[in-house]
Structure formats: structure tokens, C-alpha cells
Copies of this chain bind each other. A is one copy, B any other.
Amino acid sequence: MTIRKDNHDLTKERILNEAEALFAQKGFGAVSVREITCAANCNLAAVNYHFRNKGNLYIEVFRVRWVPRAMRLQKHFRRSLAAQGPPSPTTVAQALAEAFLKGPLSDEERQRHFQLMTRELGQPTEAFEIVADEVMRPFFEELASMLRPAMPKGLRSEQVLLNILSIFSMVLYFNFARVAISRITGREYDAAFKNRLVKHIVEFSLKGLGGLEKEGLR
């Protein structure tokens, strides 16, 4: 009964895509509804018809685009981690850096993803509740439980969390500050440089974590 035609809400999908790209690129306040509908090749009123208003479109972008992508990233991380046997700081750091810097996403998609996240980290809106509750906190706890057994003796759980946050700060930074990093290092942000960054993050993180195993280095 509720089965509609194939391209039932193709417009809705296009709006979500373009809205996400623009929100990531320029931030919520700097993007106009007209800009979105123009990029999505649809009528101005479509945003209000499909999403009630601009603000709700923004949080919908997180709900139906950002969170599922974050889940895909986590799944990719778990798969490539499981393929390496029981988790150690080495394998965790390796799988993390690879999933978040290379991983299953296109370069554009990854940039969008971390730009949106960085914006919410800097000035949290309603969308941050979603990011924190559905993605960050559960994943960080998962990572903590993986790393804790391999960490120096009686490490406080807060310290484990800070270590994880530090790794994430690097992942985030090397993703969202591409232009700046290219400019400062003088290197183009291409596949080769990305590999270099993964290697660096893994090494730096491993040492930072205080892991004693040396096999993953160099």
C-alpha cells in the first residue's frame, strides 16, 4: 500500500547528499537553503517539504548519513583487526589509522565526515548528542577494553581514554587540515603521502601508548 514509485524520494536523497557536502564545507550558518536545493537540482520548497526546516535537515544529515558512515568505518576497523589475530596495541593502532585515513571511504567522503565531526566538536549542536552517544562513546569504550589488558600495569581508565583521544586527535587533524598540512610539509595530499601519514600515526601512537613491542615499527 505504501509502495511508491522507484524514484520515490530521489530528491530527498539528493538533498541529503548536497546538504552534507555543503554543511561540511562551509558550516551550517554559512550555507543557504537555496544553495542546497540548487546543488541538488530541485525546487526551493523541497527542503521544507521533506525535512520541515533547515535545522532539521542538518540533524537528519547526521542521522541518516553521518552515523551510518561511522558505523561502516567501525565495521571496517573490526574486520581488519580481526584478521590479525587477538588485538594488541600494534594491531589496534594499525587498523585504526588505516581505517580512518584510507579505509572504505572515498577521499571526498572521508573529508566530509571529519569536517562535520570537527565542526560539532568545536561548537556542539543538537547533532553532537547523536555523535557522542551513538558513535564516540561506545567506540571509545570498545577501544579501551581492547587496549587495557596490553597496557602498562595499573593504568587508570582515564589515562587509557586520554591515550585514545590523543590518537583520535591525530586522525582528525591529518584528515581535516589537509590543505594546511600540504602547505606546511610541501607535500601533495596523495596516496603516497597518505601512506606516509598512516605509518607515522601508527609509530607515534604505539610509542605514545607505551607499547613495548617493536615489531611494528619502521
A131 to B52, CA, bound (A): 40
Query: A210 contacts the other chain (Cβ, under 8 Å)?
Result: yes
Closest 4 pairs between A and B when the two form their complex, measured CB to CB: A29-B30, A169-B173, A121-B177, A204-B208
Instruction: Collect the chain B residues with CB atoms within 8 Å of residue A179's CB.
Output: 121, 124, 128
Per the 8 Å Cβ criterion, residues 46-95 of A in contact with B are none
Query: A38 contacts the other chain (Cβ, under 8 Å)?
Result: no
Specify how many copies of this chain sit in the oligomer: 2
Instruction: Collect the chain B residues with CB atoms within 8 Å of residue A180's CB.
Output: 120-121, 124, 128, 132, 136
The interface of chain A, by Cβ under 8 A from chain B, is 25-31, 115, 118-124, 128, 132, 136-137, 140, 158-159, 161-163, 165-166, 168-170, 172-174, 176-177, 179-181, 183-185, 187, 196-197, 200-201, 204-205, 207-210
Q: Is the CB of A162 within 8 A of B26?
A: no
Closest Cβ–Cβ distance, residue A212 to chain B (whole Å): 11
Instruction: Collect the chain B residues with CB atoms within 8 Å of residue A115's CB.
Output: 122-123
